[in-house]
């Protein structure tokens, strides 16, 4: 690892100064070196991890496949393992990363725009109650939904909070997503359209390639998680493994929340995966 690599890593926490695969490689090298050598404070390490996840998402959007990025990650880990922790190269690279990411690590809020929707991250502390830490919201036929991570600090519980225009009361909810064990990558039904115009309903695989997580808890939504102009709604909490599964998906695809009502009625809301993994990593600073 030479200083040229360090300069490339430190150029900016954004994604415009180098190829996305190169950025993913460089940030993975330093993330692996940090894990082995303890190079960075918690905030800087978390900022670097978030930037690594964002670079991975950008590489996937640019057309890199999962196998390629897995190979890049293995190469980066081998590179980090080959350099002694007390070497001049490690010291120079770590110094440049600190310079680049110390300011980024102090940010409290971040927006992660996608093709259709966006994630909003907020890692400010709260002693009064839960709040949305990472949220994507929007309307669907018959209601509105907020979806993401909620809690007092850090990356907390994966939740969906929905309100229905007819006052409906769902008895259960499911999070439906691509089964990565049955597929080689995202299912994007473009039919000749550009990807940035593709609706979320056509970013899910067929039923035969889906998997689902049932909500493990249901309750009336508190006002702290409802939009300011909404007075009532329903909150569903999904298991922790659902958040991990969502983090591993391609940013171009979508997931679906199904709300189940009496009489075999189902209403569906869609969420763009986008930079969920990067936003989740960004939140980790608050829990360190």
pLDDT digits (tens, 9 = 90+) for 82-93: 989 999 989 999
d(CA 253, CA 115): 10
Burial (CB count within 10 angstroms: exposed 0-12, middle 13-18, buried 19+), residue 138: middle
Model confidence at 5, in pLDDT bands (50, 70, 90)?
very low
C-alpha angle with apex 222: 218 to 228, nearest 5 degrees? 130
Scored b (16 or more CB within 10 A) or e, 250-266 reads bbbbbbbbbbbeeeeee
Q: Which two tokens stand for residue 70?
A: 């897995």
Q: pLDDT tens, 223-237?
A: 889 888 888 999 999
d(CA 69, CA 137): 30
State the DSSP code for 58.
H
pLDDT at 269 over 60: yes
Supply the pLDDT for residue 127.
64
H or E element at residue 260? strand 254-261
d(CA 186, CA 183): 8
pLDDT at 15 over 80: no
- Kind of pairing, strands 210-214 and 172-178? antiparallel
pTM to 2 decimals?
0.85
């Amino acid at each position: 690892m030479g200083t040229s690599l360090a300069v490339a890593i430190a150029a900016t926490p954004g994604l415009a100064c180098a190829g996305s695969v190169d950025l993913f490689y460089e940030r993975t090298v330093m993330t692996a070196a940090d894990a082995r050598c303890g190079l960075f404070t918690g905030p800087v390490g978390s900022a670097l991890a978030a930037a690594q996840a964002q670079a991975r998402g950008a590489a996937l959007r640019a057309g890199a496949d999962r196998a390629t990025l897995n190979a890049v990650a293995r190469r980066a880990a081998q590179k980090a393992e080959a350099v002694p922790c007390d070497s001049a190269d490690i010291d120079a690279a770590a110094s440049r990363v600190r310079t680049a990411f110390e300011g980024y690590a102090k940010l409290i809020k971040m927006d992660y725009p996608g093709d259709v929707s966006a994630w909003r991250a907020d890692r400010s502390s709260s002693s009064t109650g839960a709040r949305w830490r990472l949220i994507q919201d929007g309307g669907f036929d018959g209601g509105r939904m907020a979806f993401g991570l909620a809690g007092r600090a850090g990356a907390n519980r994966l939740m969906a909070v929905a309100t229905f225009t007819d006052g409906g009361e769902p008895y259960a909810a499911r999070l439906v997503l691509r089964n990565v064990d049955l597929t080689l990558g995202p299912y994007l039904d473009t039919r000749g359209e550009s990807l940035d115009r593709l609706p979320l309903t056509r970013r899910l695989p067929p039923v035969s390639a889906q998997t689902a997580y049932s909500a493990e808890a249901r309750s009336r939504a508190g006002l702290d998680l409802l939009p300011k102009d909404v007075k009532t709604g329903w909150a569903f909490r999904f298991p922790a493994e659902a958040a991990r599964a969502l983090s591993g998906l391609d940013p171009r695809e979508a997931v679906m929340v199904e709300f189940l009502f009496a009489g075999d009625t189902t209403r569906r809301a869609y969420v763009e995966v986008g930079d969920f993994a990067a936003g989740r990593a960004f939140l980790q600073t608050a829990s360190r």
